[in-house]
Structure 1
Amino acid sequence: MDSAELAALLTPEGLRLVDALSITSTADAATAVSRLRAAGHSPDLVSAVVGQARLRERAQAKFGPFAERMLFTRAGLEQATRLAVAARHAGRFRDAGIGRVADLGCGIGGDALGFAGIGLDVLAVDADEITAAIAAYNLAPFGDSTTVRHARAEEVDLDGVDAVWLDPARRTAGHSETRRLAASDYTPSLAWAFALAERMPVGIKLGPGFDRSDIPEDVEAQWISVDGSTIELVLWSGSLARSGVRRAALVIRGDAAAELTADADTVDADVRELGEFLHEPEGAVIRARLIGEVARSIGAGMLPGGTAYMTSDSGATTPFATTFRVREVLPLKVRDIDAALRRDGIGTLEIKKRGVDIDPAQFRRKLALRGGRDGSAATLFLTRLGDRRVAVLADRLSA
């Protein structure tokens, strides 16, 4: 989105048009463009309105019904915190007694919505002028409790602010196509962010793959998984960090959430041979290095090969891992796997891999799934058992 499109969109006519559109496919978008152009609307307005309608449809996954009255940029939506996660972040600020929070690098306002939604006063700041304008629109329903500024995080006067939420720019500037930056190129810099975290309570949102060796020793590091995807790492300092907690894995599935915490990385469970059940830890648990804690809680050991998979002889389940019942172990050869799939009439196959250099999508194309839609479903693990490359055929028991 450019400034001309934004100016056309932020008019009574533009907002009325986007509110009236529902676009769920490319065909819908093409039809809407033709109809709006035929009605005499300008190219800038048509582009902005149709683009917003498409983004609102995509935003349902992150913002639910709230997306129906929000505005977005493509990059802003991709990088925005899911509203359910933002609400949990906001709850931590409220529980720490924070009354006014500065959201530095607010983007389209996803986290600021969470803060304002539970009654906190919010100063939302973004270095990009268009993004800041969209955040101002999204936060307008909260009135005087929210203020939006177009500024660089380092330039903001934090007098009167109790705590900071900081989402450094981790991708190149832009509203559509962007690329990831090296940690040394984040803005504001990590050195500035970590120095701020030493002076006041701060939550710093980072990517889940952030180099653990760069995490300051005196902060709480919390990795978060949502519906099977590990989405972020948050570093908490000051009163926002929980006493005695240095590592945390928050796992959210649907409306349910569970969290595992520790004062340090935990030691892995003992290695053992593959049993009747295989357990795959959530990504947040793996990143937080709390696999051993989960394994011991369900009486499991680690599979040989250093793959993070756990195994047990009982079907105990946990919110911190997905459990599978093992059917059989096969050589990691297409011919042997095909024979087993054909014998069992498997038509739907989920493929996972750890510890082997294989692209699951390419490997799938080599297989001849003959079970069809009426065939049974199974999961195939391409992995290592010690020095052996194997394929473990299994049935999913828990989400």
Structure 2
Amino acid sequence: MDPASLAKLLAPEGWALLNQLPPYSEEAALRLSAGLRDRGVEPDLVAAALTQSRLRARAAAKFGDFAAGMLFTPAGLEQATRLSVAAHHARRYADAGAALVADLGSGLGGDAMALSALGVPVLAVEADETTAALATVNLRHFPTASVRHADALELDLAAEGVDAVFADPARRTRGGRRVFEPGDWSPPLDAVLGLRTTVPALGMKVAPGIPYSFLPPDAHAQWVSVAGDVVEAGLWFGPLAPEGPGRSALVLSTDGPHVLSESAALSGTPAAAPDAPARAGTVRPVGSYLYEPDGAVIRSGLVARTAEDLDAGLLSEDIAYLTADRLVETPFATPYRVLDHFVFSLKRLRAYLRERDVGPVTIKKRGTAVEPEQLRRQLALKGSASATIVLTRIAGRQSVLVVEPVAP
């Protein structure tokens, strides 16, 4: 958003227009745009208001009802922390007794909002002028939050009285392309890690795919999933990491957008260093149940630990499917009842499913090159019953399991 359009949007007329728009609809956008221009509303203001309306609709998945009073940029929304996750970030700072948190690379202010909601004072620092202006709008209801347009690494933490830092380095270019090399993040990973020599209470958000080799030995690295989707990894240091160094998985399940219904954290053994390889599990024959570990468990290298808790084993080496003979309730893996299994063959699988009058089929896969959509076309099923199949390796052989979800 250019500064001129932003200024018009923040003027009383523009703000009123934005907040009077109906819920965003792609089908109605062109008609609504034409109607507003016919009424004499300036075209650039119409475009800015409709863009914000569209972004607010998208942002509801991350910010819930708060999205209706916020402003966004597409890139800022893409990287913004979900409020349900930001609440867990904020709790670490509140529990550590932080007096002033510097939120470096604050973006649109999601984490600063969560900190402020817990009464933790926060200084949000953002290098992009437009994003900083939008963060100021988004934090307008929180008197303990302030926003500064500045380079995060040029902030004098000691002079500001900062005793804790949260950093969310930009991992996309201005054009929206993902940046995978931590040294190319803005600010770079090493530069942020260097801040802990000044402020030991350091937390930072990193890409979920970060290699273990980039994890410092004094970090507690935690991967977070929301409703089954891995959304981030976080590195925590000093008083923000009461668990001590290691890796963990935080699983957040929801009954709706940002309504937290369950939260549980699974940690590795205290002796496990953050950069240690994931422990290998034990392969065992197919049992009565199949468990699909949550993505955060897989990313954190805690599949073997989960197997121990479930008294389960791996179907095959290096594939994150577990099997067991008894059902154990856990937030860290989705259970399925195993109905049948056999070596994969298109002809045999097609005959098997047709004999059971199967039409709709859910296809899950791991450790196989078979493409589900292509397989679905090749099966050409027309029955009335439904089925769930899992394509994977069993003891190293390409196989198929026929399963059914276990009701909660």
If the length of structure 2 is used for normalisation, what is the TM-score?
0.92
1:164 matches 2:165? yes
SS of equivalent to 1:307: coil
Give structure 1 regions of 4+ aligned residues with deviation exceeding 4 angstroms.
none
Is there any run of 5+ residues in structure 2 with no aligned partner, and where? Answer: 255-260
Output the CA distance in 1 between the equivalents of 2:193 and 2:374.
42
Which stretch shifts more, 362-371 or 133-142?
Answer: 362-371
Secondary structure of the structure 2 residue equivalent to 1:140: coil
- Between the aligned partners of 2:7 and 2:19, the Cα distance in structure 1 is 16
Aligned partners of 1:317 and 1:398 also within 8 Å: no
One-letter code aligned to 1:86: A
1:216-235 matches, within 5 Å, as: 216-235=216-235
The amino acid that maps onto 1:151 is: A
Amino acid at match of 2:194: A
SS in 1 for 2:86: helix
Aligned length: 393
* Aligned 8 A contact 1:273 1:304 in 2: no
Q: Which residue of 2 aligns with 1:146?
A: 145
Q: How far apart are 1:135 and its partner, in Å?
A: 0.5
Match of 2:286 among 268, 271, 274: 274
Do residues 367 (structure 1) and 366 (structure 2) align? no
- In 2, Cα distance between equivalents of 1:55 and 1:303: 43
In the aligned structure 2, how far is the partner of 1:152 from the partner of 1:141? 24
Give the 3 Å change call, closer, same or farther, for CA 364–76 of structure 1 in structure 2. farther
Q: Is the 8 A contact 2:107 2:135 kept in 1?
A: yes
Which segment drifts farther, 346-355 or 58-67? 346-355
The answer for unaligned runs of 5 or more in structure 1 is none
- Residue 289 of structure 2 contacts residue 326 of structure 2 at CA under 8 Å; is this kept in 1? yes
Distance change (3 Å), C-alpha of 1:273 and 1:102: same
Other-structure match for 2:355: 343
**Which residue identity is paired with 1:30?**
L
One-letter amino acid of the structure 2 residue matched with residue 158 of structure 1: L
Contact 1:268–1:302 (CA<8 Å) still a contact in 2? no
List per-residue Cα deviations over 1:234-262 (Å, max 9, x = no partner).
00011101244411110011121111112
Name the structure 2 match of 1:393: 402
Report deviation, 1:203.
Answer: 0.6
Q: Does 1:250 align with 2:250?
A: yes
Who is 1:96 aligned against? Answer: 96
TM-superposed deviation, 1:3: 2.4
1:398 CA displacement? 5.3
Q: Which residue in the other structure is 1:8 paired with?
A: 8
2:192 counterpart residue number: 193
Kindly indicate whether residue 355 of structure 2 is the aligned counterpart of residue 356 of structure 1: no
Of stretches 352-361 and 72-81 in structure 1, the one that deviates more from structure 2 is 352-361
- Kept in 2: contact 1:305–1:355 (CA 8 A): no
1:206 Cα offset (Å):
0.5
Aligned to 1:204: 204
User: Aligned partners of 1:119 and 1:138: how far apart in 2?
Assistant: 16
Aligned to 1:289: 301
* Alignment correspondent of 1:213: 213
Matched, 1:317 2:332: no
Amino acid at match of 1:350: T
| Superposed counterparts of 1:33-52, under 5 Å | 33-52=33-52
Q: CA deviation at 1:30?
A: 1.7
The 1-side partners of 2:29 and 2:103 are apart by 34
In structure 2, relative to structure 1, the CA distance for the partners of 1:142 and 1:296 (3 Å cut) is same
Question: Once superposed, what is the RMSD of the aligned Cα atoms?
Answer: 1.8
- 2: CA distance between counterparts of 1:396 and 1:142? 45
- SS for the counterpart of 1:141 is coil
2:131 alignment counterpart: 131
**1:110-156 residue CA offsets vs partner (Å, 9 max, x unmatched):** 1111011111111001111111111110001113x111111111111
Task: Give yes or no for the alignment of 1:87 onto 2:93.
Answer: no
User: What SS does the aligned partner of 1:306 have?
Assistant: coil
Name the CA shift for 1:70/1:323 in 2 (closer, same or farther; >3 Å): same
Q: Which residue of 1 aligns with 2:258?
A: none
Stretch moving more, 160-169 or 378-387: 378-387
Contact 2:281 2:317 in 1 (8 A): no
2:307 is the counterpart of 1:298: no
1:65-96: CA deviation from partner (whole Å, max 9, x where unpaired): 11111111111111111001101110111001
Evaluate the alpha carbon distance shift between residue 271 and residue 29 of structure 1 in structure 2; reply closer, same or farther with a 3 A threshold: same
3-state SS of 2:170 partner? coil
* 3-state secondary structure, aligned to 1:63: helix
Which residue is 1:59 aligned to?
59
1:30 and 1:299 mapped to 2: Cα distance?
57
CA shift for structure 1 position 351: 2.1
Cα 1:398–1:68 change in 2 (3 A) is same
Q: Helix, strand or coil for the counterpart of 2:146?
A: strand
1:311-348 CA distance string (max 9 Å, x none): 00112221100101112224433333333333333344
Secondary structure (helix, strand or coil) at the match of 2:156 reads coil
Of 346, 356, 360, the residue aligned with 1:334 is 346
- Amino acid in structure 2 at the alignment position of 1:239: P
Residues 103 and 398 of structure 1: CA distance in aligned 2, closer, same or farther (over 3 Å): farther
Q: Distance in 2 between matches of 1:21 and 1:210?
A: 41
